[in-house]
Structure formats: C-alpha cells, structure tokens
Amino acid sequence: MAITWKALDDRGGVEGTGTQTTTNAYVACLTWDCLHVPKKTIVLTETGGSNDIKYKVLVRARIGGQQVEDVQETTLSASGHAAIQYEYPWAEIEVQVKAATGGSQGDLQIDCVGQSQAS
C-alpha cells in the first residue's frame, strides 16, 4: 500500500490517504515516521461492505527502537470505521490489517492527519 502524503502547513502538519485489500495474513497498511508530529489521527474504514477485517497498531518510542503492540487485534465490521488518536509523540506508528475470515478479503480506506506542535 502506498499512502499519498500532502503538507498541510509550513509547521510540519501532514495528511495522507490510501487503500488496501486484506490478505489472510497481517500486512502493514500504514507505516508512519511521525516523531515530530505529536497529534495524530488515523481513520480506518472498511469499504467493501461485505467482509470484516482485523487490525492492530504497533508503535516505536524512538527510531530503530523496540516495536510494541499498542492496540491489540480488533475486528472492524463490514462498512464500519475506527478512529485512532495519539497525542504522544511516537517515533513510528504501524497499522496492520488482515481478513477476519480466511479467503474473505475486505477493502480498507485509511486516512490520517498529523498536526505539528505549533498548529
């Protein structure tokens, strides 16, 4: 998956968007190097309308540091959405997704926005 990023202002604010079709195993749909972006919002939306997906969120406190699971495996229902918000300045956030039922793939829209300290 490729996230398309756009600067919001000259103080470090950014927004991004992308899509992903799930597989039977976890794959990263977002890997965000966001050390200097303290306020972050990530919205996941299942757009296929018929299959649930599972997601989890992994974070790093510093670049190259240990990756830990911050949001455990959670089911997102067909046509459902989830909003994940952080005010902690994680160095990296990774969102991983997979099909809730093997062989029944879901489609995902991911939108994210980050605001700089000065915003």
Give the strand pairing for 27-33 and 53-60: unpaired
Taking the C-alpha atoms of residue 42 and residue 22, their distance in angstroms, rounded to an integer, is 18
Query: How does pLDDT run across 89-118, given as a tens digit for each residue?
Result: 899 999 999 999 988 999 999 999 998 765
Query: SS3 helix, strand, coil % of the chain, rounded to 5?
Result: 0, 60, 40
Residue 12 has pLDDT above 90, yes or no: no
Give, as one character, the DSSP assignment of residue 6: E
The predicted pLDDT at position 2 comes to 67
The CA R_g of the chain, rounded to the nearest whole Å, is 14
Indicate which CATH number applies to the domain containing 58.
2.60.120.510
Contact call for residues 14 and 113 (beta carbons, < 8 A): yes
Q: How many domains does the chain have?
A: 1
Paired tokens of 62: 């510093």
Query: How does pLDDT run across 23-68, given as a tens digit for each residue?
Result: 999 999 999 998 888 899 999 999 988 899 999 999 999 989 999 9
Contact call for residues 92 and 19 (beta carbons, < 8 A): no
Query: Which domain does 65 fall in, by range?
Result: 4-115
The predicted pLDDT at position 62 comes to 92
